[in-house]
Amino acid sequence: MNIETSEFHWGMVIDLDRCTGCGACVTACQAENNIPISEQDGIANGRNLHWIRIERYWEGEFPHVRARFLPMLCQHCDDAPCEPVCPVYASYHNPEGLNGQVYNRCVGTRYCANNCPYAVRVFNFFNPKWPKPLEQQLSPDVTVRSRGVMEKCSFCIQRIRRGKEQASLENRKLLDGEVMPACAQTCPPQAIIFGDLNDPDSRVSKLARSPRRFRLFEDLGTEPSVIYLKGGGHDHPG
């Protein structure tokens, strides 16, 4: 679906050699995007609402054990399997390469979630609750989702908007690195780099050309906009 009518194509590079699995990005995203608190029962029943998760995989047995971390968020697939199956265009592709989610239109078929190979779409099984005054933290830039709708990482679209607005107010082009999603912003080892893949000189584009690059489930043809860089023992950065 490479129908691009915009100068931008947002993308992300996640360097697995830097990611320490610390989880700061998870909480940053939760804070930024008004993600409700999931109680223990909810998580036990598969109703965690985080938009990004750190997957931890074990390898081997003692003493030859390794643990590997894989930050997983919506890959903003260029050929997103979640989009064609949505009967109401609630899951749609925006001209800047984002997989958008229109909460108002979503009727809650959960079809898109089945068809997302990365299993990053989360469903609001109940209405969110914030015991007072926790709700005061909610950001006015992000809709609070009601029960019955699907949601997932938006690449912090509100920040992209804000960045573009700022640039246009100042009558200039958006700078590389000016828009930073909450997860990338907080990541201590700077494992997450976000930017415009259309600009060959952007940091994200340069890193995306690294020999360490790979994308998840490349064979499925989803054309993710999230590019991982292999971790462990690769002595030359991209």
Ligand X SMILES: Nc1nc2c(c(=O)[nH]1)N[C@H]1C(S)=C(S)[C@@H](COP(=O)(O)OP(=O)(O)OC[C@H]3O[C@@H](n4cnc5c(=O)[nH]c(N)nc54)[C@H](O)[C@@H]3O)O[C@H]1N2
Residues lying near ligand X in the complex (CB under 6 A) = 104-105
Which of other proteins, ligand SF4, ligand X, none interacts with 138 (beta carbon under 5 to 8 A by kind)? Answer: other proteins
- Taking alpha carbons only, the member of 142, 129, 91, 98 closest to residue 10 is 98
Task: Give the residue with the Cβ less far from ligand SF4, 139 or 172.
Answer: 139
Structure tokens belonging to residue 21: 């699995």
Binding site for ligand SF4 (CB under 6 A): 19-25, 29, 32-33, 51-52, 54, 71, 73-77, 80-82, 85-86, 88, 90-91, 99, 106-112, 116, 118, 120-121, 150, 152-156, 181-183, 187, 189, 191-192, 222
Max CA-CA distance within the chain? 59
Question: For residues 230 and 215, is the Cβ–Cβ distance under 8 A?
Answer: no
Helix (H) or strand (E) holding 14: strand 10-15
* Among positions 4, 6, 7, 89, the unique one binding other proteins when judged by CB under 8 A: 89
Q: Shortest distance, CB of residue 118 to ligand X, whole angstroms?
A: 26
Q: Shortest distance, CB of residue 94 to ligand SF4, whole angstroms?
A: 11
Phi, psi of 228 (to 5 degrees): -95, 150
Q: Shortest distance, CB of residue 89 to ligand X, whole angstroms?
A: 8
Stretch that binds other proteins, among 2-10, 93-101, 196-204, 215-223 (CB under 8 A): 215-223
Which of ligand SF4, other proteins, ligand X, none interacts with 46 (beta carbon under 5 to 8 A by kind)? Answer: other proteins
Task: Give the residue with the Cβ less far from ligand X, 40 or 104.
Answer: 104
Binding to other proteins, residues 163-202 (CB under 8 A) = 165-166, 169-170, 182, 185-191
d(CA 29, CA 50): 8
Helix (H) or strand (E) holding 72: strand 66-72
Pairing relationship of beta strands 91-93 and 99-101 according to DSSP bridges: antiparallel
Binding status of residue 144 toward other proteins by CB under 8 A:
no
The alpha carbon dihedral of 176, 181, 186, 191 has a sign of: negative
Task: Give the residue with the Cβ less far from other proteins, 7 or 88.
Answer: 88
* Among positions 5, 62, 171, 201, the unique one binding other proteins when judged by CB under 8 A: 62
The SS3 call for residue 123 is: strand
Q: Which amino acid is at 199?
A: D
Question: For residues 194 and 10, is the Cβ–Cβ distance under 8 A?
Answer: yes
